[in-house]
Chain A
Amino acid sequence: MIIQRLLTLLLTIAIPGIFYPAEAATTFQGSLQEATYLSPSVNNGELPPITERIPRTPYIDSISNDQSVDSGGTLQLLMGKSKDTRHMVVYGYARLVGFNRDLQLEADLLQTYEVQDGRIFTLHLRPGHRWSDGHPFTSEDFRYYWEDVASHKQLASFGPPKVMIVNGQQARFEVLDKLTLRYSWDHPNPDFLLALAGPRPLYIYRPAHYLKQFHQRFADPEKLQQQVDTAKIKRKSWFALHQSKDHQYKSDNPDMPTLQPWRNSTYPPSERFVFKRNPYYHRIDNQGNQLPYLDEVIMTISSSKLVPAKTGAGESDLQGRYLRLDNYTFLKEGERRNNYQVRLWRTSRGSRVSLYPNLNTNDPQWQKLFRDVRFRRALSLAVNRHEINQVIYFGLALSGADTLIPESPLYQPHYRQRWAQFDLKQANSLLDELGLTQRDERGIRLLPDGRPMEIIVQTAGESTEETDVLELVHGSWLAAGIKIHSKPSEREVFRNRVFSGDALMSIWTGMPNGIATADMNPAQLAPTDQQQLQWPKWGKHYQTGQESPPDLPEVQRLLELNQQWREATGTEQRLTAWREMLEIRSEYVFTIGTVAKVLQPIVINNRLRNVPTEGLWNWEPNAYFGVYRMDRFWLDQSQTAEGASH
């Protein structure tokens, strides 16, 4: 590991020396190798040779020297819906700035970037970097987005994305030269780089040379009108046409150039999308091969419920999505027959499923109780997490509160353990202390107004996992004198019930990012979003100003700390904010976590190399396979299908 690091360091230091003078690129030509897939096109002149395709200062990926890599081959994967084509942007993970495996930000599409006071961002593009159609990628692409798309009255009638606005102030955008740009605000904008690195990235650039033909300001009016008339769009106008072509994230428009490792070549609607390698991709390995190693990625759309069966039949070479732990035995059975192996990665949410007492519920009695920390602690203490882990997750998960997992650098053991031990005695005494001593003939405690303490827990009813967990919680809470009923409903109905305060409690997945670092946004800990089911109305207040602000001091403190984090200029200050927020979260038990780090089966073709044996499977920040760099995955051609092992 350390050697590899050193090597990277050496290379990044050594290579620019060779590369910087414009003509010096030829000195490296000897070892730059053309991919066999592209050779025919290069030979007949359709494509320029590799020296002219890659940027003059490419991103150089290090692989250990003794490894010989086979470039080429086709990878099959399965998705459940045709709009899942967007997952190739997630897996491909070419970002201006992206996370590396250690979750540190580094320049990727960008050559370098500088940040001043957390509010002035200077971005440097790679000289000679090109779009997948060969057109140069320059600051014009950024200018086009900012001035002609994001600030355009009709194209973006609701203004630029939220990330680009800090305290009501829009970004100041400057083009310093053809390859240098600057975004600045008066106050720090800690979200900016994170948004660029996100699994669903903030796109602050567009392929201007392609989109201009659909833009009123640049296009020939007659031609544009003609295109509008024949286009398959809902509203016949040039901006609807522009919007329908501008699908960088969804990547379903094969005509649109991209910077990702693979570009889509299939027009929707289709059951099968073929992604072909981007001949102008900006990364090479230290042996002179251009990435990605895989020539084609074929995405087959099938019913999501059939994905485990199809994977087990060997129809996918790389599959994690739509597989669940309970498919494991079935998948394992097909391993030998279909020449793949099942690896177990770990999910990284704060908790696989969490119970959310609704602090904004409309029922005044329950609201008072839920806002009392003693009550929430009692509920948490009365959950037998060990039992849940053993019964549903084969004892392979990590039980505890809904907070960071040990992989996070901010993790402290007590965050996860505090108020999360199964202790019925303490739970009962806490409940008694609250004055809930009356019980009915079933032994259910009574509320002060005489109603029995029966809680209806709303579920979105999508997986049996949630109901299974509830069944076990039901047993142990009953011993504390509280009865729960689960009520499944459609996802939208479920959410609206929680948002409106009709729901007392809900069950949903836990904290989204369990492996946060101090530089990642702690907004998930404070009431900043309506989607936070424990305090939807406070979240809505933060977002829109409607509803009332939080009135609990500890929750107000969370908001203050969140603000402190936003205004911090250095990692040290951010760390302080994070620490106190995590402390408050574990002390006040706003959500009741169960188990985390549930295993995720990942099916990998036996010939596929460079896929980590153990990894974390999550949307944010890992972007599923994204930070493991799918462009480095390669298929071992030497190995025959029979008897391959790794």
Chain B
Amino acid sequence: MAHYILRRIMLMIPTLIIISFIIFVIIQLPPGDYLESYIAELESQGESVDPQFIANLRQQYGMDEPFLVQYFTWASGMLVGDFGYSFEYGLPVTDVVGDRLFLTVLISAFTIVFTWLIAFPIGMYSATHQYSWGDYGLTLLGFLGLATPNFLLALVLLYVANVSFGTSIGGLMAGEYINAPWSWDKLMSVLEHLWIPVVVIGTSGTAAMIRRLRANLLDELHRPYVVTARAKGVPPFKLLVKYPLRMALNFFISDIGNLLPSIISGAEIVAVVLSLPTTGPILISALQSQDMYLAGSFLMFLAILTVFGVLVSDLALALLDPRIRLQGGTNR
């Protein structure tokens, strides 16, 4: 087992190096650079900039250096925890992302719990009551959630919350609590705003989970061991939870690999629409304005989390399901 883990970790190094290079190349691929998009943005509202000022910035930011030099400076900086510098904010990347990380994790955690709370009971109900009215009704509801565009739902909820509850539009707290120390009122304000993103992001996730849980459970429910257990008089709910549900959970465990990065990145588009102070909007605006170190470091961070997440879910699967062997001829 230890040998296996070591081997997987060693494999991550070349993977991450390749990813970092690809990220850097792709970010640099579109024509122009940050300063050009900066000039274009200023021009679009009539603001013009002194060419000297731009030349100064270009030198200050090291944009006149060759591509490979820029790449190595960035990549080697990351090894010592220096994720580079955001041109847009004029601050180190860690400072820009740092503050927002907590709120992002908060929203994502709530969303995931919300999804589970909704999806598990419905999935179990649908599977055990296959083709009943309840099954059809709840499935329809789930699909409605999946089919409604997230941004539309977000806008509708924003409007409703504002008109009927007086919640301020967008953001994660009322204006006066931004930058204020944490207090009871601030927490209440956050909770008041939090439900909208949680519901919006959550509804799109539940349908998929309901369907997968239902399908997996259905596979198990007709297995002989279930019949045997039932014949022996195990109460129905205990039976369901103890045997088929455990079997059906594999898909859920392997999802953890994808879960880790999505906790950090949040749902970008919804976050942009709702103007949430999370990391998603930063990533999108960084890509638009070609703020390359901010975008690059962020993507790199997501890549690292994905790679680790996959490892964790592989190990968890092996632990939870004895039928799964770690391949490659290694001894456990």
A residues in contact (CB < 8 Å) with B: 76, 81-83, 156-163, 199-200, 232-235, 240, 243-244, 247, 250, 252, 266, 268-272, 298, 300, 302-303, 305-306, 309-310, 313, 315, 349, 460, 462, 490-493, 495-496, 509, 512, 529, 531, 543, 618-620
Contact = CB atoms under 8 A, between A and B. Distances in A.
A158 B56 contact: yes
A183 to B, nearest CB: 17
28 contacts: A83-B89, A156-B52, A157-B55, A157-B59, A158-B56, A161-B50, A161-B53, A162-B51, A200-B48, A200-B49, A232-B91, A232-B95, A244-B90, A269-B96, A270-B179, A271-B277, A300-B175, A303-B170, A306-B170, A310-B170, A315-B169, A315-B175, A460-B44, A492-B31, A493-B31, A495-B40, A509-B46, A620-B46
Contacts of A244: 90
A302 B62 CA distance: 30
A267 to B, nearest CB: 9
Given A199-B47, A200-B47, A620-B46, A268 B40 contact: no
B165 to A, nearest CB: 12
Contacts of B90: 244, 247, 250, 252, 268
A272 B47 contact: no
A641 B162 CA distance: 18
A233 to B, nearest CB: 8
Contact of B275 (A83, A302, A495): A302
B275 A303 contact: yes
A259 B217 CA distance: 70
Interface in B78-96: 85, 88-92, 95-96
A144 B90 CA distance: 24
Contacts of A493: 30-32
Contact of B92 (A158, A163, A232, A310): A232
B31 A496 contact: yes
Given A252-B90, A271-B178, A272-B178, A162 B31 contact: no
Contact of B89 (A158, A268, A302, A305): A268
B158 interface: yes
Contacts, number: 129
B272 interface: yes
Nearest to A274: B179
Interface in B84-119: 85, 88-92, 95-96, 99
Nearest to A315: B168
B46 A512 contact: yes
A441 to B, nearest CB: 38
Given A252-B90, A302-B275, A496-B31, A235 B171 contact: no
A243 B61 CA distance: 12
B43 interface: yes
A272 B172 CA distance: 12
Given A160-B52, A309-B169, A82 B175 contact: no
B250 interface: no
B175 to A, nearest CB: 5
A76 B175 contact: yes
Contact of B171 (A269, A302, A490, A618): A302
Given A272-B175, A272-B178, A300-B178, 5 more contacts: A158-B52, A158-B55, A162-B50, A243-B56, A495-B40
